[in-house]
Amino acid sequence: MSFLPSYPMLEPGPTATLALPPGIPSPAMPGDADWLDQLSAELDAVEVALERLEVGSFDSCEVCGARLGHEGLLEDPLLTRCATHS
Ligand SMILES: [Zn+2]
Q: How far is the CA of 85 from the centre of ligand 1 (A)?
A: 5
Q: DSSP string of 6-27?
A: P-PPPPSSGGGPPPPPTTPPPP
Strand partners, 8: none
Neighbouring residues of the ion ligand 1, judged by CB less than 5 Å: 61, 63-64, 66, 82, 84-85
Q: Output the pTM of the full model.
A: 0.55
Residue 48's pLDDT is what?
A: 94
Domain boundaries, the chain: 31-86
Burial of 68 (0-12, 13-18, 19+ CB in 10 A): buried
Using the predicted structure, report yes or no on whether residue 11 has a pLDDT greater than 90: no
What is the CATH code of the structural domain delimited by 31-86? 1.20.120.910
State the Cα–Cα distance between residues 37 and 25, nearest whole angstrom: 17
The predicted model gives 17-46 an average pLDDT of 78
